[in-house]
Structure 1
Amino acid sequence: MKIKKIRSVCLILTCIAATGLMGCGKTDTKSDTTKNPVIKIGSDSYPPYNFLNEDGIPTGIDVELAAEAFGRMGYQTEIVQINWEQKKELVESGEIDCIMGCFSMEGRLDDYRWAGPYMVSRQVVAVNENSDIYELSDLAGKNLAVQSTTKPEGIFLNRTDPRIPELGNLISLGHRELIYTFLGKGYVDAVAAHEESIIQYMKDYDTSFRILEEPLMVVGIGAAFAKNDDRGICEQMEQTLEEMRQDGTANKIIEKYLDEPEKYLEVDDLGY
């Protein structure tokens, strides 16, 4: 199998401050949060988890969950748009405090200190509607695009799952949007990504792909801190996210972006 990695040269690294939201039930808008310490959260554009709204302000599931959780913990949040391929180096160097952008824990448990899983996600394959690909086995000899350094890239590179056939080409792209452009133009036969991301792209761009019924993997999503981060923030974050799941706050946030929000919170059976 030929493996091709294509990096976009148009990545813009920007740091955009997102005001930390106050905890659930707090309505004192005069509270001065500027004295609270800032947590820098590294992410890339990955709707519906993190993206810029019409006013250029970071929004999305992870942006809101992080702001609420860290707000309860006494922190402000700052969303830092990063090169996703450099996420591990950035968190280990201290340039960012954690990674939170629909980040799969599967296969990475020993690479980071984790808060989570706080959500469940399916990694899936999508094809054009007129495609003759209906099962994972039909991908044999086909060309498939993934976002670089994501879980699907590892799944197809390593092929430790016997269901995964040998591809013709695996195309790794630096930006989420590019994989769908490649699929729509017929440069590849299929793409692999988080199911929520594919659904969001179809909504945003009024296009239609067909998602294969059989998932590549069901994964837990977590917030990743550096392995040697001993500040206790990760452990406090995990506890706070669980409190938000139990008190209904997480459900209320997720339902703004996804149908059937409760199914994304069924994390107890993941076995992490």
Structure 2
Amino acid sequence: MDLGLHGKRALVSGSTAGIGFATARALAAEGALVTVNGRTQARVDWAVDVLMGEFPGATIKGITADLARREGCETLIGMLPEVDVLVNNLGIFEQKPFDQIPDEDWARFFETNVLSGVRLSRHYMKGMRSRNWGRIVFVSSESALQIPNEMIHYGMTKTAQLAVARGLAEILSGTGVTVNSVLPGPTASEGVVEFVAQMAQTRGVDVTTVEQDFFTTARPSSVIQRFATPDEVAAMITYVCGVPASATTGAALRVDGGVVRSIA
């Protein structure tokens, strides 16, 4: 299927690894002009080099900026004033008991996971509306619907993203700009893979055993009973960025392996 993204300018925040990098790769494969973003020059250069190696004729560039800070967003916007496709992928997570989460952590999570996307969307939606075409995608999580009690501050930010995305979709009603959220479930991102490997080493078992135990105890409602791959999540994100998805807006689209027990 041709998604009609050839020549479209796309920005994926937090795209030097995991779902963000997989999405940048999928957009590049569709012929989009892709900008990757990360906090360190080394990681950004690595991502650009890998993508250019895979797609020699593509236009790939990188911008190093910490989008968890207002100044970082301003830096990026100054270097990239217009885009047609914005994927708000940047996000952090950690497990911490509720009574041990200080105010500073609540603020840090909100600033990184929510305000980064708010700031970028607020700027780029203006150009999209004037051109009467654009795509904004917030990469949320199944944790937006099933708040994990081991990281409530993370779940809160994922729910907030759904509210922002739905509100923006309604603001842009009647235009060619769509705004959606994509909700991955447990995914084998770089951080998760490292965590599972550490758990396996600590327990003296193999990685497969740790994964099976996780889905037996922590996510028993999963239908696929495994971690999704970043590419599987990126496929959904890339589709809703495309022209054929023009009737999909204001939606929260689950790529959660069936973890959320809901038919809607």
TM norm structure 2? 0.31
More strand by percentage: 1
More helix by percentage: 2
